[in-house]
Structure 1
Amino acid sequence: MALDERTEMDIAGEAAQPYARRGACPTLARPMPTGDGLLARLRPQGGVLTVHQCAQLAQAALLHGNGLLEITARGSLQIRGLRPQTVEPFAEAVDAAGIIVSPNPVIELPPLNGAEFGDVADAAAMELLLRDRLAEFLQAPGLAPKLSIIVDGGGRFDLADVTADIRLLALSADEWLVAIAGDGASARPVAVGTADEAVTAVGDVLKLLLSSGWQKRCRDIDPERLVSVFTDMHAISRHPRAGATRSVGMHRMAGGMAVIGLKPRFGQIHANDLLAFLAFLGDLDVSDIRSAPDRYLFITGLSEESAAAVRQSVERFGLSADSDDLSSRIATCAGAGACASSFYATKALAETLIERCPEALDGSLDLHLSGCAKGCAHPRRALTISGAANGYHLVLDGLASDAPDAQIAGSDINSAIERLSRLIKSERQAGESARACLDRVGTAMITRALRQE
């Protein structure tokens, strides 16, 4: 069977396959059940919101959800606490605000995209071109629900450290590189050419995916089949990117303008705090607000003086402009009081960790505080404290659902954190990170120290 014939069968087979996809992401139209109601995830077209649109979104989160908004690890926005009867009114409020939410798959742009940020080509225009020309393939049910596409305009700010199935990188105003299965350094180039040729190449990759089997990822494409479609791919040079220029604090731009990067503490902000912050911004000359990977929020169009004023004031709104803020080194879920599935207040315990065990927060360890075994906030291995009916489960290097290395009674958690702090302080060698120290001393010594009275 020819490639195009097999692809047509996958596209036409939509009616035979229900939506309920394993591992599907929550969307505005299909929110996901969680412990605190339904969770909707959205990414505004181009990743850009005006201050007014952001305020309308916050008001809708208050009216139709529980008022909690989050920025995900890949920079999408999440609204928590929706109910079945408020899903449609919330979506209508988003539409009334003029917020355009494109259908899946998500096409990610660098949060600071555009000529003013050094882009050599228009990434937003390329996104629209992809969606227009390849709509039939992008909406095929045979695609993996978490298929990821990145369009990088080639400027100062990029997504080189974010992995994707398909990457488009502008090499110049007239030339695009298409690569698959990796980050900015590891993705495999398959084609280079004009915008039209790049779109055609992406379409060919999507056809390969659809003909390879149900919901396959680019890493699953057979190498021989890949070369049979992209016959010149081995002659294409890699163009590794240096890595994202993303951080909290001020970024100076041309003409005396500035961008300021902020982080909601623990990646979450209440709508009331966000509305108060937006009211504060109302007295400043702000262009727009953009969410970014690693749970960042960028405010653009500021003068350097205004950016400095924002930096001095954000803490009272639950935001941080401090690159040394230790809260950014802990992944937490909504926690008790916000999620009915959670056994403990994750953010309160995170504050205890910051106060009593700063030695663990040198950036070398992934730390995850999960209110239950589902591990919603960090689906990867980490030093995890998971809530349970009998107290806390400590997993030294694993998921919230893994068998615990130690069980800690609810009343003993603060003492256990202090014992972990003393262990790192006493055992760490000169120049050694917290992770290297714990790896060296080993699980048996760590669990024994945590059990000491």
Structure 2
Amino acid sequence: MRSAAGKILEAESPDITGMHRGACPALAAPMQTGDGLLVRLRPAGGALTISQFRQLVSAAARHGNGILEITARGNLQIRGLETGSVGPLAAEIDAAGIIVPEGVAIEMSPLHGVDADEIADAADMEAELRSKLGDLLSSPHLAPKLSILIDGGGEFSLSALVADIRIAAQPAGQWLVSIAGDDAGATPLALGNADATVNAVGDLLQMLITRGRRARARDIDAAILRAHYPQIDSIRSTCSAQRKSSFVGVTRLGNGSTVFGVRLKFGQARAADLLSFLTSAESAGAREIRLAPDRGFFVIGLAETAMLTIQKVAVDHGFSVTANEPTEQIAACAGAGACASAFYDTRALANQLIDQIPALFDGSLKLHLSGCAKGCAHRRAALAIVGSAVGYDFIVNGLAADRPAARIAGERIDFAIERLARLIKDKRGASESSADCLKRLGPNGLAEALQQE
């Protein structure tokens, strides 16, 4: 079915015993977090009618803590559940007619079947895979977070998403199968029609099943790949055409219709805000929601004359409707007050950083604010600030659980922010981005800056 004295404390690697960063908390296997159980689900095609989304949000409020999230990969998360409330939640999702396919979640172009400029409908390819490879996709021997992505082309790009298996539409009814990377870095394996594509993906799944639940596509030996995919050395990596990078705001599609993209700030919203927004959107003609990568969704069917009004409604409910806002560059977990595992209020720190270091948010980096070392909100970031029992860990280009460049006592965070602001101001070159500056200075440069009096 359908979470200063400027003195730096000794930087030790954090203890993450008992945490399960690689798990996938499906309805059948919810994950224990600091605010109760969490489930993650992806409706078929990433699509919900307005009525279905309303019913799902209402069910989340009844059976959880009323906080919903959309992840960086466009999946829905429901927080604050208890052991006895997961079953009733699942029953209400089923009663709403929401289908959550079993097995590996398959991500696809959010505007499939709507965007007139797409090369092929990703939903058709997903149906082929589900129909012919259902048993393989449902195998318990696959890695829990194995990722399959289908990019049908069109206005919005999935090029930045990393996937174990990428399937990208090509002209003349062809599909390109590649593995282990984003659009630019994945290794191309096979190019062919729909049947050849299904066969190629089936072979990959068989290899991964043989290797067990820890295996990802990057772990398959190159010699084995060459033996199975004779085209591997002749296919040139074909990057997608440049497409719109941010989905938020109003976009006119090639057929003249318009869609409205909404991002949940930091990927999280309260049920009451979502329900109120959905009521306004439906009254303006909205008929469908399409989940989108980067923590948001498209509203399909709005009357063009209602766009300005709906944008204001979204902003009034705390959602983002403007591309390239600083919040877009911050991945923040639920934080203290929402999650018992978190050591600090991630949202408050985010707003403080935006206010005091605006130069940091030049569009070049991703800042990860994690309340604890589990790092629920993001994986690898240019800069991560991670909460611990004794303060804040600053990590450059790494994971939340990595050894920090510096550890700042909790009461000295304001001092650290001041020093970080000065670092960006004084050390960044005239044509250098914030991300490049931090990369050049590295952990030692950051640690030195945070120690300055």
Residue 306 (structure 2) pairs with residue 306 (structure 1): yes
Give the alignment of 1:35-50 within 5 angstroms: 35-50=34-49
Name the residue aligned to 1:401. 401
Q: Deviations over 1:286-308 (max 9, x none)?
A: 13111211113211222433223
Give the alignment of 1:26-425 within 5 angstroms: 26-114=25-113, 116-172=115-171, 174-212=173-211, 215-247=214-246, 248-425=248-425
1:315 to partner: Cα distance: 1.3
Q: Deviations over 1:207-252 (max 9, x none)?
A: 2333345542222222333233333444445432125534122111
Matched position secondary structure for 1:368: strand
Q: Deviations over 1:4-32 (max 9, x none)?
A: xxxxxxxxxxxxxxxx9982311121111
Alpha-carbon separation, structure 2, partners of 1:152 and 1:311: 28
1:44 to partner: Cα distance: 0.7
Contact 2:74 2:292 in 1 (8 A): yes
Alpha-carbon separation, structure 2, partners of 1:444 and 1:172: 49
Q: 1:244 to 1:60 in 2, by over 3 A?
A: farther
After TM superposition, the structure 1 stretch with the greater mean CA deviation from structure 2, 222-231 or 98-107, is 222-231
Q: 1:443 to 1:42 in 2, by over 3 A?
A: closer
1:121 to partner: Cα distance: 2.6
1:316 to partner: Cα distance: 1.1
Matched position secondary structure for 2:430: coil
Q: 1:438 to 1:92 in 2, by over 3 A?
A: same
Q: 1:396 to 1:231 in 2, by over 3 A?
A: closer
Alpha-carbon separation, structure 2, partners of 1:396 and 1:238: 30
- Which residue identity is paired with 2:138? Q
Q: How many residues align?
A: 434
Contact 2:395 2:443 in 1 (8 A): no
Alpha-carbon separation, structure 2, partners of 1:383 and 1:362: 14
Contact 1:382 1:399 in 2 (8 A): no
Q: Which has the higher contact order (CA 8 A, sep 6+)?
A: 2
Matched position secondary structure for 1:70: strand
Q: Deviations over 1:271-296 (max 9, x none)?
A: 11111111111221113111211113
1:363 to partner: Cα distance: 2.5
Alpha-carbon separation, structure 1, partners of 2:221 and 2:110: 33
Q: 1:251 to 1:365 in 2, by over 3 A?
A: same
After TM superposition, the structure 1 stretch with the greater mean CA deviation from structure 2, 283-292 or 429-438, is 429-438
1:136 to partner: Cα distance: 1.7
Alpha-carbon separation, structure 1, partners of 2:193 and 2:376: 41
Q: 1:135 to 1:383 in 2, by over 3 A?
A: same
- Which residue identity is paired with 2:203? D
Contact 1:264 1:296 in 2 (8 A): yes
Alpha-carbon separation, structure 1, partners of 2:176 and 2:448: 53
Contact 1:121 1:173 in 2 (8 A): no
Alpha-carbon separation, structure 2, partners of 1:167 and 1:176: 10
Contact 1:74 1:295 in 2 (8 A): yes
1:317 to partner: Cα distance: 0.9
Name the residue aligned to 2:11. none
Q: 1:282 to 1:389 in 2, by over 3 A?
A: same
1:440 to partner: Cα distance: 4.6
- Which residue identity is paired with 1:90? L
Alpha-carbon separation, structure 1, partners of 2:63 and 2:402: 35
Identify the structure with the greater helix proportion.
Answer: 1
1:395 to partner: Cα distance: 2.7
Matched position secondary structure for 1:286: coil
Q: 1:73 to 1:33 in 2, by over 3 A?
A: same
Q: 1:167 to 1:441 in 2, by over 3 A?
A: closer
Matched position secondary structure for 2:98: coil
* Residue segments in structure 1 that go unaligned for 5+ positions in a row: 1-19
Name the residue aligned to 2:431. 431
Q: 1:236 to 1:439 in 2, by over 3 A?
A: closer
1:445 to partner: Cα distance: 5.4
Alpha-carbon separation, structure 2, partners of 1:410 and 1:224: 51
Contact 1:160 1:242 in 2 (8 A): no
- Which residue identity is paired with 1:371? G
After TM superposition, the score normalised by the length of structure 2 is: 0.88
Q: Deviations over 1:129-156 (max 9, x none)?
A: 2111111211222222222112222333
Contact 2:71 2:293 in 1 (8 A): yes
Q: 1:409 to 1:431 in 2, by over 3 A?
A: same
1:196 to partner: Cα distance: 2.4
Name the residue aligned to 2:7. none
- Which residue identity is paired with 2:100? V
1:98 to partner: Cα distance: 1.1
Alpha-carbon separation, structure 1, partners of 2:351 and 2:156: 31
- Which residue identity is paired with 1:312? K
After TM superposition, the structure 1 stretch with the greater mean CA deviation from structure 2, 260-269 or 299-308, is 299-308
Q: 1:135 to 1:22 in 2, by over 3 A?
A: farther
After TM superposition, the score normalised by the length of structure 1 is: 0.88
Consecutive aligned runs of 4 or more in structure 1 exceeding 6 Å deviation: none
Q: 1:403 to 1:181 in 2, by over 3 A?
A: closer
Matched position secondary structure for 2:424: helix
Alpha-carbon separation, structure 1, partners of 2:232 and 2:449: 55
Contact 1:120 1:172 in 2 (8 A): yes
**Sequence identity of aligned pairs in percent?**
51
CA RMSD of aligned residues (A): 2.4
- Which residue identity is paired with 2:369? L
Q: 1:284 to 1:353 in 2, by over 3 A?
A: same
